[in-house]
Structure 1
Amino acid sequence: MFHYTVTTDQTVDHTVQALSEVLQDEGFGVLWDFDVKDTLKGKGIDYNRNYRILEVCNPQAAKEALTLNHMVGYFLPCKVVIYEENGETQVGMPKPTVLMDMIGDESLNEFAADIEKRMASCMDKVSRNS
C-alpha cells in the first residue's frame, strides 16, 4: 500500500491542531495548511467535505535527504491529509519509503524508513488521543 492512514473520532480542525503540536515535538513543522473546502468555496465551487492538506517539513531531515540525493526534492515537503469520511476523521500520508523507492537510490532506504516511522508515530498519537 502506498499510504499510511489512521482514524480518529475528533473533528478535522481539532486533529489538524493536535497533529501540528505532536509533529512539532518530533522536529517537524507545518509549512502550509491548505483548507480545500474553504479555498474552493472562495472560488465559487461547492465542495462539502472537510479536507485539509498539510505540507510538513523537518529542516534538518530535508537537508540530509537532499544531500544524499537531490531528486528527493520532488517529494518535499511531506504531505499529510486530514479529511472526513463516513463520520470519522482520516489522517493519512503517502509512505516516504514508497516515494523514495521511486528514485531508485538504495542509500535513501534507511532515511525514508526513519521519517516514515517518526511521522506515523505522530499520527498514531493523534488517533489514540481521540
Structure 2
Amino acid sequence: MLIKLSTDITVIDAAAALQAAVQANHFGVMQVHNLKETMTKKGVEFDRECLIFEVCQPQQAKKVLDENMSVSTALPCRISIYEEGGKTILATLKPTTLLAMFNTPQLKDVA
C-alpha cells in the first residue's frame, strides 16, 4: 500500500520539513537522491522535481535484520517528494506492507 500526502508547499520546503521530522523521530537521513539532477547528468530530459530520501532508524533496522536478513533488500526506507498536478506529494510504501512480503509476522510491531 502506498501512503501519499499532498501539500501546497514547494518540494524544497517539504524536503526541509521532512528532514526535521526525520530527526525529531530519531531517524537518520542516509541519502537524498535528486532524480531530476541525476537523470539530466545521464542525458535524460526530466523536468519534474523529485527527491528520494533514504531514511533509517538504526535500532529498528537491527531488530528487523536480526530476524531476517532478506529484509535488507527493502532497506533503507524511502520517502519520495515530487510535484504532481500542481501539488507537492510525499509518498512512501507502508512498512507493514513491505514486511509482509518476508513472511516474518514477529516483525509486525517494528513496522
Task: Compare the two structures and name the one with the higher helix fraction.
Answer: 1
Taking only aligned residues, the RMSD between alpha carbons, in angstroms, comes to 0.9
Residue 44 of structure 1 aligns to a residue in which SS? coil
Q: Does 1:13 align with 2:9?
A: no
Unaligned residue ranges in structure 2 (runs of 5+)? none
Q: State the match for 2:97 in structure 1.
A: 98
Q: How many residues align?
A: 111
Looking at structure 1, the residues matched to 108 and 21 of structure 2 have their Cα atoms a distance apart, in angstroms, of 24
| Secondary structure, aligned partner of 1:111 | coil
- Residue equivalent to 1:77: 76
Paired letter, 2:76: P
Residue 60 (structure 1) aligns with: 59
Measured in 2, the distance between the counterparts of 1:96 and 1:37 equals 26
SS at match of 2:109: helix
Shift of 1:68: 2.2
For residue 14 of structure 1, report the CA deviation from its aligned partner: 1.0
The one-character-per-residue Cα deviations of 1:57-80 (angstroms, maximum 9, x if unpaired) are 111111111112222211110010
The letter of the residue matching 1:98 is: T
Question: Distance between the aligned counterparts of 1:30 and 1:7, measured in 2?
Answer: 21
Q: Which residue of 2 aligns with 1:36?
A: 35
Residue 49 of structure 1: SS of its match in structure 2? coil
Any stretches of 5+ residues in structure 1 without a counterpart? 113-130
Q: TM-score, normalised by structure 1?
A: 0.82
Deviations 1:8-30 (A, max 9, x none): 11111111111011110101111
Tell me what 1:23 maps to: 22
Residue-by-residue CA offset, 1:20-44 (whole Å, 9 max, x unaligned): 1111010111111100001111222
Task: Judging by fraction of residues, say which structure has more strand.
Answer: 2
Partner of residue 110, structure 1:
109
Residue type at the aligned position of 1:41 = T
